[in-house]
Amino acid sequence: MSNDSGRVKRLSLRALGQIVAEANAAKDLDEMLRVMVERIHQAMGVDVCSIYLADAQSGRHTLSATVGLRKEAVGQLVLGPQEGLIGLVASQMQPLNIGDCSHHPRFKYIPLVGEEDFNAFLGVPIIFQGTLLGVLVLQHRQSRRFTEEDVSFAVTLATQLASHIAFAKLTKTVVAPPAEENEGQWLDGIAAAPGIGIGTAVVLYQLTEMHTIPDRVVTDTEAEKAAFMRAVSAVARDLRELAESHDGQPPQQRELLGAYSMILTSNELVDATLATIDKGTWAPAALRSAVEELAHRFDVMEDPYLCERGRDIRDLGRRVMDRLMEIAGGDVAYPQETILVGEDLSPIDLIKVPTDRLRGAISERGSAFSHLAIVARTLGIPAVTALGDLPLMQLDRREIIADGYRGRLYVNPNVTVRKEFRRLAREEQELNDFLKEFRDKQAITPDGEHVAMLVNAGLAEDLPIALNAGAEGVGLYRTELLFMTQDRFPTEDQQVVLYRRVLQAFHPRPVTFRTLDIGGDKPLPYFPIYESNPFLGWRGIRISLDHPEIFETQLRALLRASEGFANAKLLIPMVSGVAELYQALTHLDKVYEELQAEGRQLDKPAVGAMIEVPSAVYQAELFARHVDFLSIGTNDLTQYLLAVDRDNERVAKLFDALHPAVLQAMFHVIRCGEQRQKPVTICGEVAGDPAAALLLLGMGARNLSVNAGEIPKIKWVITKFSRTRAQQLLHRALDMESPAAIREMLRNELEAAGFGALVRPGK
Ligand code: PEP
Ligand code: MG
């Protein structure tokens, strides 16, 4: 489209939204880019709109879509990383706005593209999470710079399009068949639990989130179609019944139900779904694509009334999906070597998979300190999280590899990659076999210091694992995990049974039960909490103190369970001030007296306070006067000291318990414990990190509570490093400025001492 004035059209936010929505509906990357340039060209009225994509490995830029330049150049024009104006935009990662580009020193004339008629040039980098994906270019004939408004609009557009381009690029990688030359293709995430897992991806989807439903191939299409039609009839019946029950209700409601029935009976949705099933797709995915296609046609309509219909279609689609899943039964068939994949996997998702089949976990969300990661470590399986938006639909049932050391996911690995990982997995198995000999040994340093190795536990399913881990007791029993697997608050008697089972299994070894620590990232399905800042909100002891009926029931159950065993200890989570401690202890006293009055023979258990909030660090000495022991929860302490959400993948790189500030805090608390002669346990994830364990040893830590799978590794390290050597390392670390420098120093130390296999894959 030629534009005589040389001015581009002013576009509304709505127009921007429509461009993004249309691009997003494209089937693949090439179609997406084509739609983008066409729509931008048309909406802005520029003479040329092009997108150059950057190649992550070579840094070269390929003209990938254009309106206005020669079509034959698409895919053919490849510029070097620094070449021409595109190279300049890319290297500076800044917009470039020039009135007459042919006079610019970096202009490069390329006859192939036919841009000699266009003078004004606006190039804007397309950046996603700090990485350059490509350059969006607008050009027009007039020799006049684009206006500031045009630039800001193009920048806004590029930021909005970036995530969609990133996702489409990723999908292209994922669906690409394995190729020998693709040796290095992987997706980067966060190493959440170490290990190598090779297996088949099983994508967990949520019914409420249609876009997570994966593609799956079926052979019995007739059965799929029958199930789908039963679901449609069931929804039609639901709608009829609803309409009848709304007789005499406001006309809008009847209208809405009428609109739903019409969509359902119009057959467009039904026919499209059946046609896709006929091609061999299972019913849920066929329904998902039919709903998306139909809804999208309404989304892009100008008329706001019609635009709203897209929402109705999605809602209706969800209702049919619910019915469909009811009919299908929702049971997942887990392959022999399953790697569980999901948008935001929970610890409960993991334990639903039979342990002998589970080889790894991949989650789009979450960090190395989320509870998913913690449970993966307990189960001894690798986990990779924070992969961003994965093309989940296409991942289901593909062969994948989870590299839990480097935080990588390989999809459809080729023969070479698979062979290499099989070797690494074998070596890992050999290491685990070697480490077994430490199971029954105590952790004693060469200079005679004993460190009590305790285990973190909390799931009924991991009790045998914890029991056989070679621990001297349970340093942290997360009782909330028991609560999370129920559908209501467990009664006092039910809790007694659960706690007694643990006490009995470990007897006479101590078990430290932490009282209910919900809120934050640990919601109970039957006790929803909606807050904009959950980690700074109602969680841990705050909830318990506000709900004495729940707290005292738990305390009574814990005391009753320990009757006759005398190996229970109690731990109070998330204490931020001494007043909370007093209140919690007052409840305990009350419950204790009540139980005694009932004639029970009870020992009062030792009580500890968790140090996981900065205020508690500064009051550690005071806390130590009032309790029997302290326990440092480094996961939350790191989160609060560094102001880094432990579950947020965007900031996960900043979350490091080896940060000098966290080290100082831990050292301070350990000294406070020594001063008051109260034991201090470290029970956060850091204690299970062999590098960090060296520093904790140097600080004088005598009790480490770690996940079951980590006990032998830490024991091995402790038996080889003297306390004196650990102190030297600690003092070097405390002089350093960044967690990265500290980590490198410790890695080198471990590598030099022959422990490299603990911090990377392979021997
Ligand atoms: C911690 O915060 O370090 C801790 C051990 O508790 P959780 O991970 O359960 O919050
Ligand atoms: Mg915590």
CB atoms within 10 A of CB 248: 6
Of 683, 703, 704, 705, best ligand 1 pocket probe by most atoms within 8 Å of the beta carbon: 683
Q: pLDDT at residue 6 above 80? A: no
> Model confidence over 578-599: pLDDT tens digits?
999 999 999 999 999 999 999 9
Residue 406 confidence (pLDDT) above 70:
yes
Predicted confidence at residue 185, as pLDDT, reads 66
In the predicted structure, residue 4 carries a pLDDT above the cut 50: no
| Element containing residue 235 per DSSP (H, E) | helix 221-245
CA distances 478 to 132, 233, 261, 513, 591, Å, are 42, 46, 48, 7, 21
pLDDT tens digits along 428-440: 888 888 998 998 8
Residue with tokens 């300049």: 88
R_g (Cα) of the chain, nearest Å: 30
Q: Which of the pair, 41 or 266, is modelled with greater confidence?
A: 41
Query: Ligand 1 test: best mutation among 515, 610, 636, most atoms within 8 Å of CB?
Result: 636
- pLDDT bucket at 61, cuts 50 / 70 / 90: very high
Q: How far apart are CA 226 and CA 525, in angstroms?
A: 33
Q: Enter the tokens of residue 128.
A: 């996603």
Number of neighbours of residue 603 by Cβ within 10 angstroms: 14
- Of the given ranges (299-313, 453-467, 677-691, 712-726), which has the lowest mean pLDDT? 299-313
Q: Give the separation between CA 541 and CA 528, rounded to whole angstroms.
A: 17
Evaluate if residue 418 carries a pLDDT over 70.
yes
- Atom 1 of ligand 1, nearest CA residue: 633
For residue 391, what pLDDT band results from cuts at 50, 70 and 90?
confident
610, 639, 655: residue to mutate for ligand 1 pocket, most atoms within 8 A of CB: 610
Enter the pTM of the model.
0.76
**Do β-strands 131-140 and 48-54 pair in parallel, antiparallel, or remain unpaired?**
antiparallel
Angle of the 660-676 helix axis to the 739-752 helix axis, nearest 10? 80
Look at the domain 439-758 and name its fold.
TIM Barrel (3.20.20)
475: enclosing H helix or E strand: strand 474-478
How far apart, in whole angstroms, are the C-alpha atoms of residue 246 and residue 259? 15
Fold of 187-204+333-432: Glucose Oxidase; domain 1 (3.50.30)
CA of 10 to the centre of ligand 2 (A): 51
Beta bridge partners of 476: 456
Q: What stretch of H or E contains 692?
A: helix 690-699
Give domain 2-173's CATH number out of 3.30.450.40, 2.60.40.420, 3.40.50.1480, 3.40.50.880. Answer: 3.30.450.40
Residues 6+ apart with CB under 8 A from 304: none
**How far is the centre of ligand 1, averaged over its atoms, from the C-alpha of 71 (Å)?**
57
The ligand minimizing its distance to the Cα of 647 is 1
The reported pLDDT for the residue numbered 498 is 94
Q: How far is the CA of 636 from the centre of ligand 1 (A)?
A: 6
Angle in degrees, 0-180, between the axes of helices 268-278 and 283-299, rounded to the nearest 10:
140
> Scanning the structure block, which residue is given the tokens 């509570």?
705
What is the predicted pLDDT for the residue at 207? Answer: 61
Per the CB < 8 A criterion, the answer to whether 409 and 362 are in contact is yes
Closest ligand 1 atom, CA of 371? 8
Rounded Cα distance between 482 and 491, Å, is 12
Cβ-defined contacts of 522-526 (< 8 Å, 24+): 522/371, 522/480, 522/484, 524/480, 524/483, 524/484, 524/489, 525/484, 525/487, 526/486, 526/487, 526/488, 526/489
Q: Residue 68 to residues 18, 51, 477: CA-CA distances in angstroms?
A: 22, 12, 65
Cα 342 to Cα 206: distance, rounded to the nearest angstrom:
9
* Dist. CA 632 → ligand 1 center (Å): 9
pLDDT given for residue 339 in this prediction: 96
- Distance in Å, CA 543 to ligand 2 centroid: 14
Which residue would you say has higher pLDDT here, 293 or 87?
87
Residue 668 to residue 587: CA distance in whole angstroms: 29
Instruction: Tell me which of 114-128, 162-176, 265-279 is least confident.
Output: 162-176
The predicted-structure confidence for 81-110, as pLDDT tens digits, reads as follows: 999 999 999 999 999 999 999 889 999 888
Q: Among residues of the chain, what percentage have pLDDT more than 70?
A: 93
| Ligand 1 nearest-atom number relative to CA 633 | 3
The SS3 assignment for 115 reads coil
Angle separating helix axes 660-676 and 690-699, nearest 10 degrees: 40
Instruction: Assign domain 210-328 to its CATH architecture.
Output: Orthogonal Bundle (1.10)
Ligand 1 interacting residues, C-beta cut-off 6 A:
476, 478, 517, 612, 633-636, 683-684
pLDDT band at residue 295 using 50, 70 and 90 as cut-offs = confident
Give CA–CA dist 86/193, Å, rounded: 41
The pocket of ion ligand 2, defined by CB under 5 A, consists of 612, 633, 636
Higher pLDDT, 15 or 731: 731
Return the residue matching tokens 């968790």: 610
- Separation of alpha carbons 443 and 450, rounded Å: 6
Q: How confident is the model at residue 43 (pLDDT cuts 50, 70, 90)?
A: confident
* Catalytic residue numbers, as ranges: 371, 683
Here the tokens at position 285 are 């995915």
Average pLDDT for the chain: 88
684 φ/ψ sector (left φ>0, alpha ψ -120 to 50, else beta)? beta
CA-proximal residue: ligand 1, atom 6 (nearest) = 633
> What would the two tokens of residue 231 be?
């679901």
Instruction: Give me the phi and psi of 145, to 5 degrees please.
Output: -60, 150
pLDDT for residue 2: 42
Please tell me the predicted confidence (pLDDT) of residue 1: 40
Of all protein residues, the one whose alpha carbon is nearest to atom 4 of ligand 1 is 633
Quick one: angle between helices 283-299 and 304-328, nearest 10? 170
Domain boundaries, the chain: 2-173, 187-204+333-432, 210-328, 439-758
Tokens encoding 242:
């609803």
- How far apart are alpha carbons 139 and 52 in whole angstroms? 14
The whole-angstrom separation of Cα 282 and Cα 325 is 12
